[in-house]
A and B are shown apart, each in its own frame.
Chain A
Amino acid sequence: MTATTHDSLPAAAGLPAYRQAQRVSQVRVIRAEWTKLRTQPSSYWTLLATLILVVGFGLGYSLLRVARPPHGAADIAAFDPAAISLSGVQLAQIAIGVLGVLLITSEYATGLIKTTFAAVPRRLPVLWSKAVMVAASIAVVSVPAAFAAFAGGQSILARQHLSVQFSEPGVARAVIGSALYLAVIGLLGLGLGALIRNAAGAIAALFGVLYGLPLAANFLPGSMAVNVTKYLPANAGQAVTTVHPDPTMLQPWTGFGVLCAYAAVLLAFSAARMRRGDA
């Protein structure tokens, strides 16, 4: 049978009453959002893309640097083996941001958000549940991906004795920080999606925040450019992903805190917009 032949479906059997207790709770809404996330193909595509970009690009760039090892004192001093193996994070951040965007904008695009809000009339538990789901699902992929990229990348770089050990200062922080960075970018995407309520607009805004703002900051005069740039979301967050942070950047965890603050403020704005007014 094809889909169109199903209009002649059996008539309703009498629907029994449902007498079990029911009540909305945060945990239950999280469960519902988990069902949505795992039955939405875009979740799998964006997470798969993240895995491939983080691991694949990290290994590829490591191979490239093994073939072209650093020359000269300055080049060797600036050589960051951990950063090379984790370079895929810079590309994966867009895929992961799109995951956050689509988890909320798909509901506005289809009108499903009305059904969702009718079931959860206080609305905000929906946003918090989506935030939990975005962060958790990304971490499940990004932590192993970062470790795999690091381990694989270092084993490649070791051929030219260019690798670092995980136990060396700052390395573990950079690897775990890269995975956490991606999770927060996912939340940034969710916040933009909830605020803009349109996938194309929110993805464009995400590109603007991650790549556009640093470019725009370059147009500022000298010292001002440096001072502004280090507080931009991407730049602040990336401080935690490098073993030897650039002196013009914020301290690793300070920078990560600034990125988290951006995501928190964005989610707070979208919560304020979501809570009142028309769905």
Chain B
Amino acid sequence: MIEIRELTKTYGSTTAVSDLTFTVRPGVVTGFLGPNGAGKSTTMRMILGLDEPTSGSVLVNGRPPRSHAAPLHEIGGMLDPRAVHPSRSAYHHLLAIAQTSGIRKCRVDEVIDAVGLRSVAKRRAGKFSLGMSQRLGIAAALLGDPATVVLDEPVNGLDVEGIRWIRGLLSELAAQGKTVFVSSHLMSEIAQTATHLIVIGRGQMIANTSIDEFMQQAAPTSVRVRSSDSDVLARQLRGPGVTVTRAADGALTITGASAAQVGAVAGAAGITVFELATEQASLEDVFVGLTQDAVDYRAAI
């Protein structure tokens, strides 16, 4: 469980995170979304006790992150998969982390097997591909069997197989009752795994909802219909709570009515329907729409 209250972080005159309040619950995968520069990594560093909040508080499993006696059992984090000594082997990298808490060597072997790095465990970690580095970072995060797992952009730069692997792993961890908090700047990476979403932009909260609610609130579904008489159909459909717009090809886009209702109205008026479809904005569209104003570094057009 991660509880964040009125969290603010400033670096000099730059505000990276501003007055964030949210709770990340155990048992589900929570996605942490925002454009690059939104303050996701800063927030995660504060959750791991690496950066001090300027104001506000972070509690991990009920305590401030730096106060745990067995930190690796409470929080497992991966911030930067490339943060390894290039000459040290994956095994010794993990061993040194494990030894700080007296975690046994057999556990190091267990996590190496679990992330599939057995064949390269004795190799210099500096020679690893990004995908292998991600696996090594995740292995380090899982060493202490932590109750809370925090991963910054774990899918970044992975191939299809790697992405599928991480999705399976995250669901598995959540199913074990762990708190799983995963950031991404791409909605599509997170949509299939996360059931809850925290969306921030420019350090501020934009949304804190389940994926389903997020979709409904941000992008009501619409119905697209092409018919033999658009004018009459549009007149018949318009009413309280229903809007109708006409596209260039003569099709109508209706919000506020279901496809079944549109079909019934057309049938009653004797209008032939050529095409009838429910349309939903993709999660990515919703995300981009929401965060449009909050993108710090947009290419000048």
- A residues contacting B by CB (< 8 A) are 3-4, 6-25, 28-29, 31-33, 35-36, 39-41, 106-107, 110-112, 114-122, 276-279
Given known pairs A7-B131, A15-B111, the reply for A40 and B85 (CB within 8 Å) is: yes
Please tell me if B72 contacts chain A, counting CB pairs below 8 Å: yes
Query: Which chain A residues border B89 with CB–CB below 8 Å?
Result: 39
- Complex CA gap A100/B42 in Å reads 30
Please report which residues of chain B, range 60-118, place their CB below 8 angstroms from some CB of chain A when the two chains form the complex: 65-73, 75, 77, 79-80, 82-89, 92, 95-104, 107, 110-111, 113-117
Q: How far is the CB of B228 from chain A (nearest CB, A)?
A: 53
Query: Which chain A residues border B67 with CB–CB below 8 Å?
Result: 121
The answer to whether A4 and B68 touch across the interface, beta carbons within 8 angstroms, is no
Q: How far is the CB of A227 from chain B (nearest CB, A)?
A: 42
Given A7-B161, A9-B132, 9 new contacts (CB under 8 A): A6-B132, A12-B169, A17-B145, A24-B71, A32-B96, A35-B95, A36-B85, A114-B83, A118-B77
The answer to whether A115 and B97 touch across the interface, beta carbons within 8 angstroms, is yes
The answer to whether A16 and B101 touch across the interface, beta carbons within 8 angstroms, is no
Q: Of the listed stretches B25-33, B47-55, B260-268, B270-278, name the one at the interface; the rest are far from the partner chain.
A: B47-55
Can you name 18 A-B pairs with beta carbons within 8 Å? A6-B119, A6-B131, A9-B115, A12-B172, A19-B145, A20-B103, A22-B101, A29-B100, A31-B99, A110-B83, A112-B83, A114-B48, A114-B79, A116-B97, A117-B50, A120-B71, A120-B100, A278-B50
The answer to whether B116 and A9 touch across the interface, beta carbons within 8 angstroms, is yes
Q: How far is the CB of B132 from chain A (nearest CB, A)?
A: 6
Given known pairs A12-B169, A278-B51, the reply for A114 and B116 (CB within 8 Å) is: no
Query: Which chain A residues border B172 with CB–CB below 8 Å?
Result: 12, 14
The answer to whether A119 and B68 touch across the interface, beta carbons within 8 angstroms, is no
Query: Which chain A residues border B176 with CB–CB below 8 Å?
Result: 17
Please report which residues of chain B, range 119-148, place their CB below 8 angstroms from some CB of chain A when the two chains form the complex: 119-120, 123, 127-129, 131-132, 135, 140, 142-145
The answer to whether A22 and B52 touch across the interface, beta carbons within 8 angstroms, is no
- B residues contacting A by CB (< 8 A) are 45, 48-52, 65-73, 75, 77, 79-80, 82-89, 92, 95-104, 107, 110-111, 113-117, 119-120, 123, 127-129, 131-132, 135, 140, 142-145, 159, 161-162, 165, 168-169, 172, 176
- Complex CA gap A12/B168 in Å reads 9
Query: Which chain A residues border B159 with CB–CB below 8 Å?
Result: 7-8
The answer to whether B120 and A6 touch across the interface, beta carbons within 8 angstroms, is yes
Contact of B70 among A6, A24, A111, A117 (CB under 8 A): A24
The answer to whether B70 and A36 touch across the interface, beta carbons within 8 angstroms, is no
